[in-house]
Chains A and B, each alone.
Chain A
Amino acid sequence: MLITAILLTAKLAFLTTVILLLIGIPLAWKLSVMKSRFRPVIEAVVGLPLVLPPTVLGFYLLMLFSPNTSLGAFWQEMTGSTLAFSFTGLVFASVIYSLPFVVQPLQRAFEQLDHGLLEAAAMLGARPIDRFLNIVIPNSLRALLLAGCMGFAHTVGEFGVVLMIGGNIPGETQVLSIALFDAVETQQFDQAHSLAAGLLVFAMVLLVLLYSIDRRRIS
């Protein structure tokens, strides 16, 4: 049961991080160069999961996943199963829930990038995509690592949203945080101890690594 939960959590966090980077990099870039007055609105939407109780997000996602909505109906039509209480639903929810943890560090890094370098690249014949891939990305590697790790760690740490839309199905939706909750509920304190300690050590090690990278960037 423990191994299943660890593997499931790792798979969820990995997939979520990959999707988040694919969405987050272009989104953060757009936001960093956007001059429109809608920018604060978009930033607020991205940042919502930071302040909203996870249960609120989970509740709305649950509503959205119901076969009565167009997304839910479409999903059921295509796959024959519902999004709610499925691994895919968890990935979907995790992407939304961890989005600000990836977008915000990237956006800060892109804003701090010397845009003069992009002009210099343009004058050497580099087109916009070329400039992004060969100037912006290589000069934002630390921020990318930070964003990826934050996205991964935050997905591992989520609880409320998973509980609302995923339930507690071993091998499908029972991630480590849920397994811990389950262990406490069923009074299996030995298991609860090892789960809690494991998650604590994981979070601690990851953060120490991240902050030491951050410190090196400053000095």
Chain B
Amino acid sequence: MLALELELPRDAFNLKIETRLAQQGIWGIMGSSGCGKTSLLRCIAGLEKQAKGRIVFNGQIWLDSKNKTCIAPEQRNIGYIFQEARLFPHLTVAGNLQFAVKRATGKNISSYEDIVEQCGIAHLLNRNIDKLSGGEKQRVAIARALLSNPQLLLMDEPLASLDWSSKIAFIPCLRNIYQHFNIPIVIVSHAREEVARLADYLMIMERGRVFKQGLCNQLLKESVYGEHASGAILSVLDGEVVGHDPNYLLTELEVDGYRLVANQTDMNVGDKTRLVLSAHDISLVLDDVKMTSVQNKLHLEISDVQPVDAYHQAVTLKLGEQLLTAVVTKKSAELLELSMGNKVFAHFKASGLEVV
């Protein structure tokens, strides 16, 4: 999809990227602040004039400094969502959208009405920009970008300016945009929680270089102990909705043959889903406790025990082909004699299991 050979001089260190983002889907770019994530995104968009190298997107050459080719940003047909939305203050919401419509080239990815509805901004059209909340601004920015019929969406920390509840409300909207419009998305974030909920593939950056890249689930587990991301340690699982329990408002899920229970969602039976579970919400028990209020109780084998810091240990458990990470204190780990190969019961509440 996207082939990159890039060099960009920067104050602290040079950005030097050589990679291919081969798979279509949502790509997350993660790394600590100042590692060059945003610069990379700006290079792809053509906003960094000093960038040297080669960028090829689906056969289109956007940059080839050897042959002195550099396509201007306005001709790359990219939708760019900036961290601060960057709506035009002299226009209303509808005016901002029309700005994009008037300049759009190529085939319409969808109708105006559909895009407005998918982004949930139909009630905002006549508002002035300064009357919008942070989340509303980002929704308008995304609708505006979609209306320019982009062939690629770049998002620079689109959730950074939002509070946690707005973030939670926004994530399904972003995933839905990928599924509905089928445009590849590259999203930059420094927060593991965001990437875990959004990305299919992940590139981890460190001081201007690619540190690792691959499937999001896989990489997030490997980078649990790294300093490449901020936020809580968590597990990402792929599962399927197998039933609903309307009496108790619960949804039943299956992950590699294991049955899990989460708070009820509006997904349909048979839907593939992603589950996010914080490592701190899991407690480990040696005995098979029968009477407990906890809904999820799995008997799993420990595949790895690693220190997180001086007082905590991360215990990785095999859940079929997937992995589940729990964080316990060092004291508990020693008391329970947790080590590789042992089997333990992992307990967690239905409300701790988030269905994305």
Which chain B residues in 101-152 approach chain A with CB under 8 Å? Answer: 103-105, 144-145, 148
The answer to the question of B86 belonging to the interface, with a C-beta cut-off of 8 Å to chain A, is: yes
The answer to the question of B219 belonging to the interface, with a C-beta cut-off of 8 Å to chain A, is: no
Residues of A within 8 A of B73 (CB): 119, 122-123
Residues of B within 8 A of A121 (CB): 88, 99
CB distance from A95 to the nearest CB of B (A): 29
The reply to whether B86 and A120 contact each other, CB–CB distance below 8 Å, is yes
Residue A119 contacts which of B47, B144, B145 (CB distance < 8 angstroms)? Answer: B47
Which of A41-49, A76-84, A133-141, A193-201 lies at the interface?
A133-141
The answer to the question of B290 belonging to the interface, with a C-beta cut-off of 8 Å to chain A, is: no
Residues of A within 8 A of B75 (CB): 125
| With A130-B103, A138-B90, A139-B89: A123-B84 Cβ-Cβ less than 8 Å | no
The reply to whether B145 and A124 contact each other, CB–CB distance below 8 Å, is yes
Which chain B residues in 177-191 approach chain A with CB under 8 Å? Answer: none
The reply to whether A124 and B86 contact each other, CB–CB distance below 8 Å, is no
The reply to whether A120 and B104 contact each other, CB–CB distance below 8 Å, is no
The reply to whether A117 and B103 contact each other, CB–CB distance below 8 Å, is no
The reply to whether B47 and A125 contact each other, CB–CB distance below 8 Å, is no
Residues of A within 8 A of B90 (CB): 138-139
User: A123: nearest residue on chain B (CB-CB)?
Assistant: B80
Most buried by B among A114, A124, A127, A135: A124
Cα distance A138–B86 when bound, in Å?
Answer: 15
The answer to the question of B32 belonging to the interface, with a C-beta cut-off of 8 Å to chain A, is: no
Residues of A within 8 A of B145 (CB): 123-124
Cα distance A125–B89 when bound, in Å?
Answer: 18
User: B80: nearest residue on chain A (CB-CB)?
Assistant: A123
The reply to whether B82 and A116 contact each other, CB–CB distance below 8 Å, is yes
Which chain B residues in 60-103 approach chain A with CB under 8 Å? Answer: 72-75, 77-80, 82, 84, 86-90, 99-100, 103
The reply to whether A126 and B80 contact each other, CB–CB distance below 8 Å, is no
The answer to the question of B284 belonging to the interface, with a C-beta cut-off of 8 Å to chain A, is: no
The answer to the question of B45 belonging to the interface, with a C-beta cut-off of 8 Å to chain A, is: yes
Cα distance A90–B77 when bound, in Å?
Answer: 50
Cα distance A209–B104 when bound, in Å?
Answer: 41
Residues of B within 8 A of A139 (CB): 88-90
The reply to whether A125 and B77 contact each other, CB–CB distance below 8 Å, is yes
The reply to whether A120 and B80 contact each other, CB–CB distance below 8 Å, is yes
Residues of A within 8 A of B105 (CB): 125
Which chain B residues in 140-166 approach chain A with CB under 8 Å? Answer: 144-145, 148
Residues of B within 8 A of A117 (CB): 86, 88-89
Which chain A residues in 119-167 approach chain B with CB under 8 Å? Answer: 119-127, 130, 134-135, 138-139
| With A122-B74, A125-B77, A125-B105: A116-B99 Cβ-Cβ less than 8 Å | no
Cα distance A124–B78 when bound, in Å?
Answer: 8
CB distance from B349 to the nearest CB of A (A): 43
The reply to whether B80 and A134 contact each other, CB–CB distance below 8 Å, is no
The reply to whether A123 and B103 contact each other, CB–CB distance below 8 Å, is no
Cα distance A157–B30 when bound, in Å?
Answer: 61
Cα distance A121–B87 when bound, in Å?
Answer: 9
B interface residues (Cβ-Cβ under 8 A, vs A):
45, 47, 72-75, 77-80, 82, 84, 86-90, 99-100, 103-105, 144-145, 148
Besides the contacts A120-B82, A121-B88, what 14 more A-B pairs have beta carbons closer than 8 Å? A117-B88, A119-B47, A119-B82, A120-B86, A121-B99, A122-B73, A122-B74, A123-B45, A123-B47, A124-B74, A124-B100, A125-B74, A125-B103, A130-B103
A interface residues (Cβ-Cβ under 8 A, vs B):
114, 116-117, 119-127, 130, 134-135, 138-139
- Please name 7 pairs of A and B residues whose Cβ atoms are closer than 8 Å in the assembled complex, sorted by A: A117-B88, A122-B47, A124-B74, A125-B74, A127-B74, A134-B99, A139-B89
